[in-house]
Every structure is written in C-alpha cells, then in structure tokens.
Amino acid sequence: MIQIKEAKYIGSFPRIDACPKADRPEYAFIGRSNVGKSSLINMLCDKKNMARTSKKPGKTQMINYFDINGAWYLVDLPGYGYAKISKKQRLKWRLMIENYLRQRESLCCAFVLIDANVPPQNIDIEFMNWLGQNRIPFVIVYTKTDRLKPDELEAKIATIQQKLLEYWEALPEQFLTSSDERTGKDEILQFINEINQQTNK
C-alpha cells in the first residue's frame, strides 16, 4: 500500500510565476465549488485540516501547494463555477487556473472532481473538453459516492459517462471516492506512484 508519510503546506500563490520551482512531479485537484475537494485532499493526506474545508464555497482562492513525502507536489486549485463573486474576480481566477494548467511543465495530471450525486453539469463537461483540447492529461474523481446505494451510484455514473461520450471516443481513468468512508485513497495514490516511477526513470 502506498502511503503519504509527510504532507506539508508550502504556500498559496496568485500566479504561475510565483509558484515553487518546478523540480518534481505535481498533481492538481480541481472541481466545481462545494464538490468536496478539501475533504478529499485531507483524506488522501491523512490530515484533518490539511486543506481548509468550509460550508461556504469559494474558500480556495489561490494556487495552494503541498509537499508530499518530499517527492511530489499536490496542488489545490480554486473551484470553478462559483457564482457569488464579481465577474472581474471570476475572470481573474479562470485566467490563473488556465495559465497554470497550460504552462506548468511539471504538471503530470489534473484530477477533475465530480459530485456523483448530481446529474452531468455543463460546466464540468466544458472544462474537461477544454483540458482535452489543450492536451492536458486528466482523470475523473467521483466524490461523495457513499451517499448513494450501489445501483443508484452505477446509474448516476453511467449517465455522466454517456454525456461525456457525446464528445469523447474514450474516457480517461476514473476513481470512485468517499472522504467519509475513506474509499478511493489507495487507488489514487497508486496511480500517482506509478506516474512518479515513470517520471523518475
């Protein structure tokens, strides 16, 4: 089993040129506001308050860096689709996120979080299509899966996949997670470890 032995907050940065030196693999976590991103990061790192959780969406406002085992970075990006901010601030966030995803040379993969409890959202589809158009590697992480019965979960995910297949010939790798049940952790960390091993060859 792959474990995170040390997870340390490095800092929050307003733009890509202020981020830490790109000297190791890094993995970005992003999703719609209130998708459960902070809870997932805390679960992966085995730390309750690693990433700040809040009932009020939009808490993450910069590019947040965490050093993992001194070997790779976990990057917490602001949520997209948060409506209760000005258009100017929303544009600023979007440009910050897009610049990071397009230009950060040490980014190995983006983890796009989708709430398994809600129907496919256009903003999620548009964002993943944008990643594909810009050839940015990504995987899909379904969150809050413990809130559904197995057959309901299967039906919800099938609906989301069907919507994605209207645009994609094949789907990226997908993970089922629950921060409360602590499911999906081993699979995600194993996936990251495999990329790290390939990167370090």
Residue 105 lies in a domain: yes
Residue 2 belongs to some domain of the structure:
no
Q: What tens digit of pLDDT does each residue of 76-116 get?
A: 998 887 656 677 877 888 899 999 999 999 999 999 999 99
Domain-embedded: residue 28 = yes
149 pLDDT tier (thresholds 50, 70, 90): very high
The token pair at 92 is: 């600023």
Query: Given this model, what pLDDT does residue 56 score?
Result: 46
At 44 the pLDDT is: 95
Q: Is residue 92 part of a domain?
A: yes
How would you classify residue 164: left for phi > 0, otherwise alpha for psi between -120 and 50, otherwise beta?
alpha
Exposure string of 25-56, with b = 16+ CB inside 10 Å and e = fewer, is bbbbbbbbbbbbbbbbbbbbbeeeebbebeee
Total domains in the chain come to 1
3-state secondary structure of 8: strand
Q: Are strands 174-176 and 72-76 parallel, antiparallel or unpaired?
A: unpaired
Residue 48 has pLDDT above 90, yes or no: no
Range of the domain at 59: 7-199
Q: Is residue 162 part of a domain?
A: yes
> What is the rounded average pLDDT of the residues 71-75?
97
Mean pLDDT is lowest, of 17-26, 32-41, 44-53, for: 44-53
Are 107 and 136 in contact by the 8 Å Cβ rule? The answer is yes
At 174, the pLDDT band (50, 70, 90 cuts) reads: very high
Matching residue, tokens 């297949």: 165
pLDDT of residue 1: 67
pLDDT tens for 49-58 read: 887 654 444 4
Asked if the structure places residue 1 within a domain, the reply is no
> Per the domain annotation, does 79 fall within a domain?
yes
Two tokens, residue 61:
């406002």
DSSP string covering 3-44: ----EEEEEEESSGGGSPP--S-EEEEEEBTTSSHHHHHHHH
Least confident interval from 68-82, 93-107, 138-152, 165-179? 68-82
Q: For the domain that residue 65 is a member of, what is the CATH number?
A: 3.40.50.300
Q: What is the largest CA-CA distance in the chain?
A: 46
Greater model confidence, 147 or 81: 147
d(CA 69, CA 4): 6
Residue 94 token pair? 């979007």
User: How many CB atoms sit inside 10 A of residue 65's CB?
Assistant: 18
